[in-house]
Structure 1
């Protein structure tokens, strides 16, 4: 009896120790496990807080039957999906819905009221106030239309993300519940070859093509290779790639690219000029400037993490030449190219992009707030001024005339990037630009059209992406009065 009692006591002590360990150490893991139904029941027991754009909610909650009493709803779900992400009773959440989950479901400790411990009432959920400008966001989504692509707009002076659009898109409301229709919607979206749930603005990288020539020009001016955008570059046409017998030519054979200035080379998008410029600078100097502008950063969170944009290393001279026109293994997200334009528009200072202005306690009280933060001094003020002047020439009388806005200073650069085996795929059409209405409204934009219905011969950055950028810039400056 004594031995049995001692043994039983030991078992009780071991059980108590194990329960204590589970609660104290493993408790959070079990609580946050996606298979824990209690977590979902708790999360959806009450209406969620809202994600806001322009001071108005772009999300909501609606009552359901069953254990999960409320499910998420979305206003203009396809327009804002790249911003909000999704919150699903069956499939979890992503993007802002996931990153700010505790604020939105009321479990954040900062939302707790001491009286709630006595009344056992749930905490009031908080809201997430984004930096998104609804007019710019809708202009981006409407402009992209049925094309596959993405568009980003930034406030150059603060880094605020004003628009983040990706097409084709999806409506997160379609699978926010746990019914059969939600399961069918999720399965359909998951199998869609066009990948509507891919956030192309942040998570997809593309060869930037001629839009990357802005980075090359910045590096050349910063290095002192040329004193201004109006100094002749002593560039041949055609240009023989170093170490090869291949002559690089320009798309427009009649363009005045021989010995062209940077201004003229950007206006006519002279491949020969920037290929030679890249070789003269060398991979190291060009890569250093690209890094200042955000390339090769593996952890760029806005707070949703963006994919890494890459300027390659270990290239020979001919490959470096190709990188000078945004080809070879150069890749960039639309966010990254908007950052390039943003730095130029902001006198060379690149502000860190962010899409959440603040989180609140559901009323006027802010839980936290994002302050503008300098990312890098990407180039000197004089270099930025020179590049703005050259970009204005591109819009006034170059390849970017489709982006003109009367009464507004607009600068831009087009890009048509080859891709696929032996360049077999339809080119990607880019337009990178900025607008300044002179009264305190500035915006930097990047648009890429990945796939469209246009014939291959008609695909160009100025023709496809330029008008989209124009509509976004018009919406951003002076409330669209300039459009």
Structure 2
């Protein structure tokens, strides 16, 4: 063989080997990733060409499909529809030709029928020469609680407002309600017309109100005075005080190591906080900033951080809905501990303490569960296309955030706050309610505060824990008790009346 022919032969051999390596890589090592990529046109077409499973809420005959597939007369055969779009959009997300979000994304394998738990169903469909149907996903949401949360929040903040409500079953971690406003209509994004989808998505994405953001798990703000329940739990757990003790307070307090009026902590006119010592019950019921600032400094930043993290701060715990942001109890610069002035501010939920509504619901749910923190979850059951239960989520105990004794004492303080303090708007006739208000300063002069409210009921054997966050309420003066209390009450009543 002459040299030119040999050179061409060797070159062709290398081309053949490169082709074989590429095919092997694509067919074996990279196949799963390509199949799961929503931008893969073949995958997208397959997803829309078969009947996808339902996303369900409710129990028994009262089950409601909040996402389902409808036959459609075009190349894709099926269109995803959302019967109650605004109320559930932040949870269901949406399914479109190029992307998935919310439960549509996290439970895609089940809904599309590709999950291993649906293997027998796929075999039966194949034997009967039928197209593969997706499985159903039953969520933990209580439709009555979700409706109450949505209606009450919308009535409070208005169509231009921003806020969120989360309700949890303390003993299990089941999420009973999760509302985020403003919302959006996912039906506008599930069109088979990609250009129409892009126009609608760009409009929503450019909206200053950020309707695509699930504020329950993606927005973290200063929790303000609702964080005082964490400070109180830390103080009681460490043995510094009991619920029956008097605690240091005072009308004002210059934070240690500082000068100037900007570093003076006051109680915003709540004169019952003015004595140098007040009862622990008064400090909580009247929301005395000076008392909890001094308490935090006495505990120190390490103990404060440990208690916050025991309740879930600085970690992720919700596994079946993403993305989410972590709630934060801060460290100092370069990993050093906070100084006394910074620690004092964290005692009442300011400085750099940041929390999501889900996190604050987890805090009060743990207190209502006598100190035990349960993992929050949204997916209750995975079902076949015929609604047969294939797998049910078992409650998962994360840890004891505080002892039962500490939880009982903090509960007593929160009951006092509802009965005789700032959280009175959450009172329910015949039911003992534990609650705490929060009105958190934004740190921007002239800007209105954030409103918070956390509660659980019945206080002696909690069935529901609620966190309300009000970010914007145009035309209204934001106060956690006056605005958030009635919302929490409505949600608690919806659960207790079921």
What TM-score do you get using the length of structure 2 for normalisation?
0.90
Distance 1:476 1:378 in 2: 25
Distance 2:14 2:472 in 1: 69
Contact 1:299 1:305 in 2 (8 A): no
Contact 2:369 2:462 in 1 (8 A): no
Structure 1 residue matching 2:380: 3-state secondary structure: strand
**What are the residue-to-residue correspondences of 1:105-184 with 2, within 5 Å?**
105-112=112-119, 113-114=122-123, 116-117=125-126, 121-145=130-154, 146=158, 147-179=161-193, 180-184=195-199
1:325 aligns with 2:353: no
Contact 2:456 2:462 in 1 (8 A): no
Contact 1:257 1:264 in 2 (8 A): no
RMSD: 2.1
Distance 2:184 2:404 in 1: 41
Deviations 1:360-381 (A, max 9, x none): 1123433332110111101111
User: Which stretch of the first structure deviates more once superposed, 205-214 or 59-68?
Assistant: 59-68
| Aligned pair partner of 1:83 in 87, 91, 100 | 91
Change in 2 beyond 3 A, CA 1:406/1:22:
same
| Aligned pair partner of 2:291 in 267, 273, 276 | 273
User: Equivalent residue for 2:335?
Assistant: none
Distance 1:272 1:319 in 2: 13
Runs of 4+ residues deviating >6 angstroms: none
Equivalent residues, number:
473
Which sections of structure 2, spanning at least 5 residues, go unmatched?
Answer: 333-337
1:188 aligns with 2:188: no
1:19 aligns with 2:23: yes
Distance 2:348 2:418 in 1: 19
Structure 1 residue matching 2:225: 3-state secondary structure: helix
User: Equivalent residue for 1:95?
Assistant: 102
**What are the residue-to-residue correspondences of 1:47-446 with 2, within 5 Å?**
47-54=51-58, 55-89=63-97, 91-112=98-119, 113-114=122-123, 116-117=125-126, 121-145=130-154, 146=158, 147-179=161-193, 180-226=195-241, 228-245=242-259, 246-258=263-275, 259-298=277-316, 300-314=318-332, 315-422=338-445, 424-436=446-458, 442-446=463-467
| Aligned pair partner of 1:38 in 17, 42, 51 | 42
Contact 1:435 1:473 in 2 (8 A): yes
Change in 2 beyond 3 A, CA 1:460/1:196:
same
- The alpha-carbon deviation at position 35 of structure 1 amounts to 3.1
Deviations 1:399-448 (A, max 9, x none): 111111111111100000000424x321001000001187x761000001
Which sections of structure 1, spanning at least 5 residues, go unmatched?
Answer: none
Contact 2:173 2:377 in 1 (8 A): yes
Change in 2 beyond 3 A, CA 1:303/1:368:
farther
Structure 1 residue matching 2:179: 3-state secondary structure: strand
What TM-score do you get using the length of structure 1 for normalisation?
0.93
Contact 2:251 2:273 in 1 (8 A): no
Contact 1:106 1:122 in 2 (8 A): no
